[in-house]
Structures are given as structure tokens and as C-alpha cells.
Amino acid sequence: MTSIPPTICPYCGNKELIRTVPEKDPFNVMVICHNCQRVISPEQTVTSGKKAATVSSIAEKAIQICLSNGKLHGIRYYYTEVNKLSDTKTSLHHAKETVEALLQARGLSSAVKQPGRNGCVIALIIILLIVASIVYFYSRR
């Protein structure tokens, strides 16, 4: 009994799939998503086109959030929205890998907003104020 290859990527919802035949094992056909570059097994077939379109729109929105607010916010959005769908549960690690793979496949990894360093500057200012107040207190005696 031969399994039917998937027609839609279960990770990103893309319909552009590439069938490859390895040289060492010609009977083992692999299907790879053109968009996220993940290998798809025949058991991972998405039956509903609407569900795949929803996952694809969630991924697009997550990428936009990554570009504007940072990767952490994009991963959190992807994780919460995909887990809201019925019969689609993902781990936080899987959501992180998916978002990073989407960003890398589109060449947007370097365009993601990096986290700010304002916390270190504020802590340094507070430490300097404490040291200055101690010096002032002991110099007035």
C-alpha cells in the first residue's frame, strides 16, 4: 500500500512542494517544502485547505511581528495562534524553529529587530548614583 504524498506543507501552508529521489535509496521519495525547506513525511498531510491557509496567514503575521517588534514577540504570536486551532498543537520549541526557518528561508534573519540594551544602562546609572551618594555621605562627616 503506497501512501499519498502531501499536497500542502503542514508547517507553513505552502503549496509549492519539491519531490526528490535520493541516489542511495531510489525507492524512498522525499518531499521538501519550497518555502520553509522542511522535509515532509507522507503522514503529515494536511487535509483541509482552509486550515493550511490559516496557518500560512499566521506565519505571515508572525514574520511581520518579528520585523517590527522582535523575534520573541513573533514566536509568541505564532505559538498562541497555532495552538488556538483545532487539532493543531505545537510546542514552544517547534514554534521557535518554524519562525526562525521562515525568516531564514526568506533572508530576513538580519532584518529582525534586536533586543534593546536599555536595562544595562539604567542599572549602571543606578549603581553610579548609589556610589556617588555613599561618597557624598562619608565626605560630609
pLDDT in tens, 90-105: 888 888 888 888 888 8
Q: How far apart are CA 78 and CA 72, in angstroms?
A: 10
* Domain count for the chain: 1
pTM, full prediction:
0.51
Q: How far apart are CA 105 and CA 103, in angstroms?
A: 6
Whether 27 maps to a domain, the answer reads: yes
**How far, in Å, are 18, 30, 52, 75 from residue 4 at the CA level?**
14, 12, 17, 32
10-14: average pLDDT = 74
Whether 36 maps to a domain, the answer reads: yes
Quote the radius of gyration of the chain (alpha carbons, Å): 24
Q: What is the mean pLDDT of the chain?
A: 78
Residue range of the domain that includes 47: 17-111
Whether 46 maps to a domain, the answer reads: yes
Confidence band (pLDDT; 50, 70, 90) for 42? Answer: low
* Contact criterion met (CB below 8 Å) for 16 and 33: yes
49-87 tens-digit pLDDT: 567 778 888 888 888 888 888 888 888 999 998 888 877
Whether 126 maps to a domain, the answer reads: no
- Per the DSSP assignment, residues forming a β-bridge with 20 are 30
